[in-house]
Amino acid sequence: MKNLGNLAVLLFMLCACTSCNNDDDNTKPELAQKVAGTYNGDIELSVQEASQGTKGVEISVNRIAEDTVDVTFPAISFGSRTIPSVKSGAKVALNNNGSYSLTGTLSAKDGDINITGNFEGTVNGKTLEMNISYQLGAMPSPIKAIFSGSQSQASLTVNTSAYDTWTYVNLKTGETQTLKDFNAWEYYSNGQVVETKEATGDASLIKIDWHIAIHRYDIKTNGGAALATEETAMNAVKNIPAEGYTADEQTENEVIVDMSGMMDGKIGYVKSPLNRVLSQWLTKTPTGGMPPYEYEETNLIYLLKCADGTYAKLKFTDHQDTEGNTGRVSFTYEYPVE
């Protein structure tokens, strides 16, 4: 009996270890957030090993998934030619020495000219070193570029495609938490409330310390206030004003949480605070057709005064991913700033 008992214990331990290993196999390490950010530095261009000069540029790396990022390369002019701005996806891997590698391919169009190529980079601490190869149409030789820069801001991309969720963001740690809106929903038809769904929870469901939350393209703060500058570059904002900030305000039927009844003229809304200043980061122009609106980023730098008196700089850079899927909000930020 004693031997049978020992055998049972061994079998239990074997099953437990197997279960743990299976769990580990299903867990992807978070790599993208380790490299996400905006890197300022110099890029040197060359054609057939002949230098075309060095320029100061900014390369943005935004998280898409655990091991995937979007890399935005700036427009670069040299001689009579200009390489347009290109955004491309890249895979992130952890190297044996603790650094991170980024690899991807380029594919874009500049008018009738196809732009292809590839890039490889290494992020070590706050430094990005990258080799880029551009092929512009039928140009006989590729344009080689070598970039070296350091991270000055962090970047983040949030999937906001669902109408019924909010993503809460901690600007200090980069943590996010996405939750289904837990407040009461009111359904409108012909301007009248025709149905109400009771609240399913409260703010205790939010488990992170958060500074801003994003719903589609709407933004609210955690007791903060915001100000829009006239600048489009982070480093151009030298001074942080003490006054002029706009706090959140409560809205009644502006935040849409359920579009399932749209064809029947019935749409679900939630009463929610919004920050009017931050929510204007994306302009919406009626098209008179389909799609009904055309969206464009303001590219302005916004200042956030947090509830604890700290400040952040924010720049919202995109509302879609490289494949044109909307509801993917990308932004760069500095926190805290003096």
3-state secondary structure the chain: CHHHHHHHHHHHHHHHHHHHHHHHHCCCCCCHHHHCEEEEEEEEEEECCEEEEEEEEEEEEEEEECCEEEEEECCEEECCEEECCEEEEEEEEECCCCCEEEEEEEEEEECCEEEEEEEEEEEECCEEEEEEEEEECCCCCCEEEEEEEEEEEEEEEEECCCCCEEEEECCCCCCEEEEECCCCEEEEECCEEEEEECCCCCHHHCCCCCCEEEECCEEEECCCEEEECCCCCHHHCCCCCCCCCEECEEEEEEEEEECCCHHHCCEEEEEEEECCCHHHCEEEEECCCCCCEEEEECCCCEEEECCCCCEEEEEEEEEECCCCCEEEEEEEEEEEEC
**Are 298 and 318 within 8 A, CB to CB?**
no
pLDDT tens for each residue of 32-81: 988 988 888 999 999 998 999 998 888 989 888 889 999 999 888 877 78
Percentage of residues of the chain with pLDDT beyond 90: 69
**Has residue 14 got a pLDDT over 60?**
no
pLDDT tens for each residue of 173-220: 888 999 999 999 999 999 999 999 999 999 999 999 999 999 999 999
pTM of the model: 0.66
Average pLDDT over residues 233-245: 92
pLDDT at residue 28, as a whole number: 56
Percentage of residues of the chain with pLDDT beyond 70: 91
Q: Taking all residues of the chain, what is their mean pLDDT, rounded to a whole number? A: 89
CATH number given to 32-154: 2.40.128
d(CA 125, CA 48): 32
**Has residue 20 got a pLDDT over 50?**
no
d(CA 316, CA 301): 8
Q: Other C-beta atoms within 10 Å of 209: how many? A: 13
Q: Which has more confidence, 37 or 226? A: 226
Average pLDDT over residues 123-132: 94
Residue with tokens 């952890």: 94
In degrees and rounded to multiples of 5, residue 50 shows phi and psi of: -95, 120
Q: Which has more confidence, 248 or 74? A: 248
pLDDT at residue 38, as a whole number: 86
d(CA 264, CA 49): 64
d(CA 213, CA 218): 8
Handedness of CA 118, 122, 126, 127 (dihedral sign): negative
Instruction: Supply 69's token pair.
Output: 């990022």
pLDDT at residue 291, as a whole number: 86
**Has residue 4 got a pLDDT over 90?**
no
Q: Other C-beta atoms within 10 Å of 103: how many? A: 12
Average pLDDT over residues 319-335: 91
pLDDT at residue 151, as a whole number: 83
Q: How far is CA 337 from CA 71, 189, 224, 231, 239, in A?
A: 25, 46, 15, 16, 10
Q: Partners of 154 in the beta sheet?
A: 333
d(CA 181, CA 255): 10
**Has residue 8 got a pLDDT over 80?**
no
pLDDT tens for each residue of 272-303: 999 999 999 999 999 999 888 999 999 999 99
Residue boundaries of the structural domains of the chain: 32-154, 160-337
**Has residue 119 got a pLDDT over 50?**
yes
Q: Which has more confidence, 29 or 137? A: 137
3-state secondary structure 150-210: EEEEEEEEEECCCCCEEEEECCCCCCEEEEECCCCEEEEECCEEEEEECCCCCHHHCCCCC
**Are 329 and 316 within 8 A, CB to CB?**
yes
pLDDT at residue 322, as a whole number: 78
Q: Which has more confidence, 22 or 70? A: 70
**Has residue 129 got a pLDDT over 90?**
yes
**Has residue 266 got a pLDDT over 80?**
yes
d(CA 275, CA 245): 10
pLDDT tens for each residue of 144-166: 999 999 887 888 889 999 999 99
